[in-house]
Structure 1
Amino acid sequence: MPMMIELTERQTKSLSILAEHEHCSLNELVREAVNDYLNRHPLQQDSDSAFGLWRHKREDGLAYQERLRSEWCDESTV
């Protein structure tokens, strides 16, 4: 997928020289660098990897919804 990134002049020049020495394109060199970074910083892929306020909640979503709605009306009138 195409993506635009902004590099400093020094970074661009250094990467271009390295790509020439490695006999590869600048795109290929950047892709390899991104893969190396991602391999060193893996994402957690467990069930608790959600973001936001609900990350540590153990209550089922439907149970939470029903508990909140029960506060809105008297159960004897339902």
Structure 2
Amino acid sequence: MTRILADLPDEDIRWLDARAAELGQSRASVLREAVSTYKAQAQPASGKDWLDQAFGIWKNRQDIGDSIDWQRRERASWTRPWDDDYEEVKAEFPDLFDEQDDRERAHYLAQSGRKPSAK
């Protein structure tokens, strides 16, 4: 292990000493832990390491059923009465919409002079 000499403001030293006393550790131990934590949180130069870590994170989820169906349903829940695909999405996921949505759709269509899509 290599020793280092670092200049820190007096206020930081007081905080460090208080933190070390609180944890029952030495000042050096707290500093080593802080550097270790900082190192673990630091992004690599490419900035894409988080993507590699997250890839496939949901592959073993059992609570959502089929992940593709879950994702389609989640996206469908974002559909609003003024969206062009409102009728198609409502036909596929009718439980996501209520009478208020239908009233807002009718109001939107009346205001815009459009007719419901017949796809």
TM-score by length of 2: 0.36
Deviation at 1:38? 0.5
Aligned counterpart, 1:12: 13
Counting only pairs closer than 5 Å after superposition, residues 1-78 of structure 1 correspond to structure 2 as: 1-44=2-45
Secondary structure, aligned partner of 1:2: coil
Secondary structure, aligned partner of 1:34: helix
For structure 2, the residue ranges without an aligned partner over 5 or more in a row are 47-119
AA aligned to 1:19 is: A
Cα root mean square deviation, aligned: 1.5
Secondary structure, aligned partner of 2:6: coil
Deviation at 1:2? 0.3
Structure with bigger gyration radius = 2
More helix by share: 2
Deviation at 1:10? 0.2
Partners of 1:30 and 1:42 in 2: how far apart? 20
AA aligned to 2:31 is: V
AA aligned to 1:41 is: A
User: What is the percentage of aligned positions where both structures have the same residue?
Assistant: 20
Deviation at 1:43? 3.1
Partners of 1:23 and 1:14 in 2: how far apart? 14
